[in-house]
A and B are shown apart, each in its own frame.
Chain A
Amino acid sequence: MHDLLDDYAQSNALRDTNTRLKLALGLGAIIFCVSSVSPVAPIFVAVSMGLITIMIAKIPARFYSKLLLIPISFAFFSTVVVAFMHGTGNPLFSVDVFGFDLAIREDGANLALLLISRTIGGMCSLFFIALTTPMIEIFSVLKTLHIPDSVIELSMMIYRYIFVFLDQAAMIHSAQVMRLGDSGLKNSLNAFAMLSSVLFLRSWEQGERLIVAMDARCYSGKLDLTNQAAKAEPRAILAAAAYLAAIAAIAVLTRNIQML
């Protein structure tokens, strides 16, 4: 068993909450985050979404923080560049590198702060969706939004077989490591090339077996997509609406606040 996002999506405490509501909450928060002009609202979203995910959906904090570390590290390095490259105003910090004056100015610092808070707020909202909503539920919402059946069916098959190939890739990798396939750069590169080519061939074979399996059960172009999601409780709808309204209010009220 791998420690996958998908495992938590299947087993979290908000698993059975209405999918549309969860999507609306997550997407709404993202939209407010990216449209807010001050970093206050995105920071509020990041903190509250984090708390919702950990306290209400009961995702282990350790796993969640590790997950968050990936986008944070990306965001950090890119905003550092933005902070140095951008803007006018009083220099807050400057350093002389071989005659170049490298400085972080007020404008740049504010922009960097806004960027990083938007990124983290957005990521927290996205993780909220990813960690509480199984893919399959999202597919059934897409179906009601009249996305073509063939697109959805294809995505569902792709989703299903990701896990089959993930297992196969893990097994091939173990088989390589067991025979020291990872000793040295040259060996690892070689092993990786073999893994990729074998996986490609296997997926091809798997595709052929899939056709046989579907034919054996009288395939005539139908994959049942019954929407089995629970109805949204009025209380949950109210809570989500109040939360989104709060973000909107914070975003509007703090539009003139600059952090620095």
Chain B
Amino acid sequence: MTTILETQDLGYYYGDGTVALENVNVKLEEGRKVALVGPNGAGKSTLMLMFNGILQPKAGSVLFRGQPLNYDASSLRSIRRAVGMVFQNSDDQLFAPTVYQDVAFGPANLGYSAEKVKRYVTYALAYVGLSGYERRPPHHLSGGEKKRVAIAGILAMEPEVMILDEPTSNLDPATSEEIMEMLEELNLGGKTLIISTHDVDLAYRWADEVILMKDGGVLRRGSGPEVFGDSELIKEARLKLPIVVDLYQELAGRGLVDGPKPPRNILELCDTLEQGCKGRAPSSSTAEPIEPGKIYICNVDELEAPQIIAILEKIQPSCKGAMGTSAKVMAEGAGIALDFTYGVIDKCILKALIGKSSLIMTSGGMVDHAQNRIRDYCRESGAVIEAVRLSDGAN
């Protein structure tokens, strides 16, 4: 893994001497999902504003791909193109009077031709699922749509790293999950993502790496379970435990489960719990073992809506999920009622374990991602779930 962003003894002080950041040393690797967590005033936003040169450090330095940032106009242009930032409040970011103009702002200022700008804008809007919104003014959009436009505006500049300050604040839970899933999709496409959040459940589940901050410094860096497994540390940082970890610790306290590391998600928690119960009460396992359901995966790039509807009628899955924007747009267009629109793979595995079959609609690289995820799960847990990849002509 190559280091893409790095800070060395970074410090920032406001005019009145208030310390915002002090001695921050972090290394962020390419292609990772990083979450900055910490209480209000921990310096998360300040740190983020330094990653693309909006704030200039008062001490230490920021390095992009090993090169310290320069703060002259042309260097700033290149760093801001490579490291895009989505602000917390979309109204701060969406300043142009129509969606098209806002998304076109970055590409136009990079000096692209009108035709190229149009191509980039069309691509970015399609990516976030807002094709056809080009002429709408931002004040006619919902909070979730504004966030999508803000993300499209950054995406149109093709950044290598995307920084999102509190991407889910002020959004309803389903919209938040969909935004986070879109970020997951971007990450699968190779983008390095950095978010800041107060939502510990989200950081725990989503991030490859968690950076816990407090009072302008870094308290701990590590994977979700490493950082959130330490309840004293979490208390010190004025956060709370993710519900999965909290539940796990209480269950472990009663001796129902044991293991070195807390589970990552509901799926792992269920498995840990089941193992614990089976070991304890063998009588329950005398019941007939459940035959696991199948998971069908279909690629919406290869199949037309009528074909998918025909497949649905043939296999009659008990639940249907869509992963990624293009699959969701297609399902909506074809009138397919979706049971899952986020956390789809885990949900389908959970359903398969209780004997129900399901269909995942997705596209591009996420087809492989879904298959790998199911295979990895089977290998780790010993369960046998058949993942069937549907393509044109099959079945």
Contact = CB atoms under 8 A, between A and B. Distances in A.
Contact of B137 (A10, A217, A218): A10
Interface stretch (B104-112, B237-245, B327-335, B380-388): B104-112
Contacts of A219: 105, 109
Interface in A36-84: none
B109 A220 contact: yes
A160 B95 contact: yes
Nearest to A135: B97
A256 interface: no
Contacts of A218: 77, 80-81, 106, 109-110, 157
A10 B91 contact: no
Interface in B84-132: 84-85, 87, 91-98, 100-101, 104-111, 114, 117-118
Contacts of B114: 224, 226
A213 B134 CA distance: 20
Contacts of B105: 214, 217, 219, 222-224
Interface in A112-164: 134-136, 139, 156-157, 159-161, 163-164
B122 to A, nearest CB: 12
B54 interface: yes
A191 to B, nearest CB: 24
B235 interface: no
Nearest to B94: A160
B95 A157 contact: yes
A160 B87 CA distance: 18
A171 B106 CA distance: 31
Classify the interface of chain A: helix, strand, loop or mixed.
helix
B137 A160 contact: yes
A257 interface: no
Residue of B96, B111, B138, B140 ringed by the most chain A CB atoms within 10 A: B96
Contacts of A135: 97
29 contacts: A6-B137, A10-B136, A10-B137, A134-B135, A136-B97, A136-B135, A156-B96, A160-B94, A163-B137, A206-B92, A212-B92, A213-B87, A213-B93, A214-B105, A215-B76, A216-B52, A216-B80, A217-B80, A217-B106, A217-B153, A217-B157, A218-B77, A218-B106, A222-B108, A223-B101, A224-B100, A224-B107, A225-B101, A226-B118
Given A216-B85, A218-B106, A222-B109, 15 more contacts: A7-B140, A10-B136, A164-B91, A212-B54, A214-B105, A215-B76, A215-B80, A216-B80, A219-B109, A220-B77, A220-B111, A222-B105, A223-B105, A223-B108, A224-B107
Interface of A: 6-7, 10, 134-136, 139, 156-157, 159-161, 163-164, 167, 206, 209-210, 212-226, 228
Interface of B: 52, 54, 76-77, 80-81, 84-85, 87, 91-98, 100-101, 104-111, 114, 117-118, 134-140, 153-154, 157
Report, nearest first, the 3 A-B pairs whose CB atoms are least far apart: A224-B104, A163-B139, A224-B108
